[in-house]
C-alpha cells in the first residue's frame, strides 16, 4: 500500500507499507490511533505521543486543523467500510497541495 509519511522535521515521503498492526506501530514508533481528517482520509498517529512529549508535527497539525499533532504520522486512505487502501497519485497530489 502507498501512504504519505509526515515527519516532525517537515520531510514528506511517499512510502510503501503493509496494512499490518506491527508494521504501522514500527512506522509510527508507538501504539497507533486513527485520526479522521476528511472523508476516508486518516492520520495514523502515536496514541501516546503527547504523553511522550514528542515533537510537534507541523504538517500533520495543518491537516488536522483544530489539534496539535505530535510525532511522525502516516496519512492513509480508507474505503467506505473503513478498510485501508492504497493512495492513488491524485490522492497523494491533493494531500501535498494541502500542505503548501
Q: Indicate if the pLDDT at residue 92 is higher than 90.
A: yes
The partner residues of 14 in beta bridges, in order of sequence, read 4
Q: First-to-last CA distance in the chain?
A: 24
Report the alpha-carbon distance of residue 64 to residue 85 in Å, rounded. Answer: 20
Work out the average pLDDT over 82-96. 94
pLDDT tens digits, one per residue of 11-67? 999 999 998 999 999 999 999 999 999 999 999 999 999 999 999 999 999 999 899
Give me the residue spans of the domains in the chain: 2-98
Q: Indicate if the pLDDT at residue 82 is higher than 90.
A: no
The predicted pLDDT at position 36 comes to 96
Amino acid at each position: 500500500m502507498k501512504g504519505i509519511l509526515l515527519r516532525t522535521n517537515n520531510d514528506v515521503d511517499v512510502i510503501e507499507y503493509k496494512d499490518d498492526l506491527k508494521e504501522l506501530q514500527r512506522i509510527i514508533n508507538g501504539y497507533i490511533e486513527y485520526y479522521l481528517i476528511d472523508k476516508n482520509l486518516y492520520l495514523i498517529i502515536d496514541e501516546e505521543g503527547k504523553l511522550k512529549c514528542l515533537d510537534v508535527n507541523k504538517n500533520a497539525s495543518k491537516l488536522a486543523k483544530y489539534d496539535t499533532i505530535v510525532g511522525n504520522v502516516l496519512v492513509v486512505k480508507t474505503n467506505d467500510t473503513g478498510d485501508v487502501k492504497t493512495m492513488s497519485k491524485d490522492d497523494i497530489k491533493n494531500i501535498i497541495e494541502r500542505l503548501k
